[in-house]
Amino acid sequence: HQPIPSSFSFDTRNGEEPIHISAEKRYDLNHASTNLPVDDLSPILPTPQKISQKAGTFALRSGLVIIYDGPIRQEAEYLADLLGEVLLGTAVIASATDEDTADIYLRINSTRDNASSEGYRLQVSEHSVEIEAGSAAGIFYGIQSLKALIPSGYYRVPGNEIFIAQVEVDDAPRFDYRGQHIDVARNFQSVEMIRKLIRLMALYKLNKLHFHLTDDEGWRLEIPGLPELTQVGAVRGFSTVTGEMLPPAYGSGGTAGSAGLGSGFYTRAEYIDLLRYANRHHIEVIPEINGPGHARAAIKAMEARYERLMSEGKEAEARTYLLHDRSDTSRYVSAQNYNDNVICVCQENTYSFLEKVIAEVVSMYREADAPLSLIHTGGDEVPHGAWTGSPECHRLIRDEPELHSEEDLHPYFVQRYLDIASQYQLKIGGWEEITLTSTDDGHRPNPKFIGQGVVSYAWNAIVGSGGEDMAYQLANAGYEVVMCNASNLYFDLAYDYDPEEPGLFWAGYVDTRNAFELTPSNIFLSVFEDEEGNALDGLALSRERVALQPGAEENIIGIQGALWGEAIKNPSMLEYALLPKMLGLAERAWAPSPSWLGESTRGGLKSAIDSEWARFTNRLGKIELPRLDHHDDGYAYRISPPGAKMINGLLHVNHEYPGTVLKYTLDGSDPTSASTIYESPLKIEENTVVKIRAFSTNNRKSRITEIEVSPPILN
């Protein structure tokens, strides 16, 4: 048999799609990250509103005295613990009696002239450190800025004395809502991993942890009285017993509890402990209880409960929390290819279930003495065709005058969810779908929930898709909006299109620069290409879309990164996907509006963004990433591969983050920590294969960049 000749070509609008990112392409991409002196960089990230660096230093010494004035003993203890990580010896904590004895003075000043309760003032002088704020949260963020002044090496080897720069900082956040979403339903993450995430968020002044606890593939929170939610809904594997567990998904393995993160949940006690831990770090945990779509785990768990109680002859009790209409003949397929993942919103059992779950969740927050202002409903991706074959829904539509078709059932569910949450003085949040209504030409804001305590999380702003302006439409209409733009802030998306790069790409590729460039008040300013990498004029696009109106800017209450869990198989993958992208998020969430807001031409925009990006990348390469190498036992952040290019007969090598150590070999072997450090352009012999790697300060390494120096082609 002869093989069948074949060839494959995958085309984009710009011709053949590249399979690998070449060394030369990476070099050109990195070229915007020009090398800057470290003394020209802000020592604090995210960038403060105002910072003045003075000549001289202050010495942090073993046994220093921390004095606090106000109800901030917890923050003083946090600072003492922090200093214990880098200083030999123990700090002394005392309440304010004689502030002249203080090395570090923490003070609440309720009359501070600052619009934000989270603002602070940090002053490091020759003889002392003073942090003043109007709230405990402000004191906490001032401590984070003080922490940023400590050289990273002391997290590896503590010392008796640490000299930090004298500075004056007057600071406050740009947004009140600075969030990070984490999906533990698709793949579970341990309590310790969530605690580490909380510490990381606090380090960069993020204050909202959106906890995606439930979805089709998992229910991750113990609810007293509903054991099947975790006995069935938190377990994935293969079973010959119908309804015993959820099926395997995302590589979780066929055996329940096998290698993988398919099984697991947080007990009530563990969740309360996490709430207390987050609260100590001034982070509010926002629980997501998903519905009406993305609810297969809950549906199957309550079906198992129904079967158990029916077998015990308890029919009325069995039906109490049943989430599906057993007579439903609807045919649909969800975005994740499920045909049974939508709750029946037309039966009272569903709202009995929500009342039970929300009551139990609220009780956990009350026991933890932790803040809870909002419960997230999810609410997205309800497939077309759901409820069309449900007798319960036919009956409800017939009996309720405001319902005319299945199209009205989603808002009906949102209203019922809101009514339950309102009993506890809670708002509800949801993905943008819960605040939209269908029109002949797409979607528009639904006026029904404006001013009713419904927060819209706008995500579907894929560049070039036509929905980039939905956040602005919603804000202009009067909704509070959290921007979660997939093209900038979905951190499970791959950093780039190299096939060795892990991650998804349905909304394009998201790297640290995408997060850094997001301009919440005008996202079009930083648009230069679409999700496929094709050139796109953002300024021209903005003229075709809705702009954020004056007066509506206050309705953009914040921004949030999202880390979906389908491709996150272990803690290292989580940290790789999250970092350093999350640092771009933190900068945009806290720092003042970027300088490029005043530019009106594409050339001016590109130049201004490149300039700000260069400062940011230098800050990361020379200060921030080395700190993450040793802080909190280190983080497995992504180390991007180097770029390399032959220019005028010399091999030039660069990196996305200036200051990163680059090492190379010329003999075909893979670079190791013992290989030669690249310091300046190299003269390379013909027919030589050069391999280059980037290394962190704790000797983690990037993928290899390889370039072959070939003899010139003679005509």
Report the CATH number that the domain containing residue 102 is assigned in CATH: 3.30.379.10
pLDDT band, very low/low/confident/very high, at 16 (cuts 50, 70, 90): low
Both 86 and 195 in a single domain?
A: no
Same domain, yes or no, for 660 and 611? no
Q: How many CB atoms lie within 10 A of CB 584?
A: 26
What is the pLDDT, as a whole number, of residue 476? 98
Task: Give the tokens for residue 10.
Answer: 């995958």
Report pTM: 0.95
Residue 12's pLDDT is 43
Q: In this structure, is residue 630 part of a structural domain?
A: no
User: Cα angle at 373 between 372 and 376, to 5 degrees?
Assistant: 90
- Give a yes or no: residue 24 inside a domain: yes
Residues 60 and 25 in one domain: no
In the predicted model, what is the mean pLDDT of residues 316-332? 96
Q: What is the mean pLDDT of residues 474-491?
A: 98
The answer to whether residue 494 sits within a structural domain is yes
Q: How many structural domains are present in the chain?
A: 3
Between strands 436-439 and 643-647, the pairing is unpaired
- Binned at pLDDT 50, 70 and 90, residue 10 comes out as very low
Average pLDDT over residues 608-630: 96
Q: Is residue 292 reached through a cis peptide bond, with omega within 30 degrees of 0 on the bond before it? A: yes
Domain identity same for 125 and 191: no
Over the chain, what is the mean pLDDT? 93
Average pLDDT of the segment spanning 142-166: 95
Other Cβ atoms closer than 10 A to 222: 20
Q: What is the pLDDT of residue 612?
A: 96
Q: Is residue 81 part of a domain?
A: yes
Q: Do 600 and 673 have their domain in common?
A: no
Assess if residue 160 is contained within a domain.
yes
Of 124, 141, 171, which one is at a domain's C-terminal end?
A: 171
Residue 513 and residue 550 share a domain: yes
Question: Is the same domain home to 587 and 530?
Answer: yes
Q: Are residues 683 and 535 in the same domain?
A: no
Contact 126, 166 (CB under 8 A): yes
Q: Please give the pLDDT value at position 709.
A: 85
Cα gap 219→234, rounded to integer Å: 5
CA 523 to chain centre: 18
Q: Can you give the CATH number for the domain in which 688 is found?
A: 2.60.40.10
Domain-located, residue 696 = yes
* Domain presence at residue 634: no
d(CA 49, CA 580): 22
Residues 129-149 pLDDT 10s: 999 999 999 999 999 999 999
3-class secondary structure, 531: coil
pLDDT tens profile 229-261 = 999 999 999 988 888 999 999 988 888 876 678
Lowest mean pLDDT among 20-34, 87-101, 408-422, 673-687: 87-101
Shared domain check, 196 and 107: no
pLDDT at site 101: 83
Residues contacting 670, CB < 8 A, separation 6+: 691, 693, 704
pLDDT of res. 18:
56
- Report the C-alpha gap between 604 and 611 in whole angstroms: 11
Q: Give me the phi and psi of 495, to 5 degrees please.
A: -65, -35
CA distance 700 to 620: 16
Q: Is residue 5 very low, low, confident or very high in pLDDT (cuts 50, 70, 90)?
A: very low
The secondary structure of the chain in percent helix, strand, coil, rounded to multiples of 5, reads: 35, 20, 45
pLDDT band at 9, cuts 50/70/90? very low
Question: Which residues carry out catalysis?
Answer: 381
Average pLDDT over residues 42-60: 96
Burial of 598 from C-beta contacts in 10 A (0-12 / 13-18 / 19+) = exposed
- Name the band, by pLDDT with cuts 50, 70 and 90, for residue 712: low
Q: Quick one: 328 and 446 in the same domain? A: yes
pLDDT at residue number 345:
98
The pLDDT of 497-515, averaged and rounded, is 93
If pLDDT is split at 50, 70 and 90, which confidence band does 419 have?
very high
Output the domain CATH number for residue 189: 3.20.20.80
Domain containing 694: what range?
11-30+639-709
CB 613 within 8 A of CB 72: no
pLDDT at 163 (0 to 100): 97
Print the SS3 string covering 589-657: HHCCCCHHHHCCCHHHHHHHHHHHHHHHHHHHHHHHHHHHHHHHHCCCCCCCCCEEEEECCEEEEECCC
pLDDT mean over 628-632: 95
Tokens encoding 108: 């609440």
**Whether residue 74 is found in the same domain as residue 20:** no
pLDDT band at 98 (very low <50, low <70, confident <90, very high): low
Percent of the chain with pLDDT over 70: 95
Residue 1 lies in a domain: no
Q: Point out the domain boundary residue: 121, 149, 171.
A: 171
Residue 2 has pLDDT above 60, yes or no: no
Do 438 and 542 belong to one domain?
yes
How wide is the angle at C-alpha 582 spanned by C-alphas 577 and 588, nearest 5°? 150
Element (H, E) at 362: helix 348-368
Question: Of 171, 195, 224, which closes a domain?
Answer: 171
Average pLDDT over residues 375-384: 96
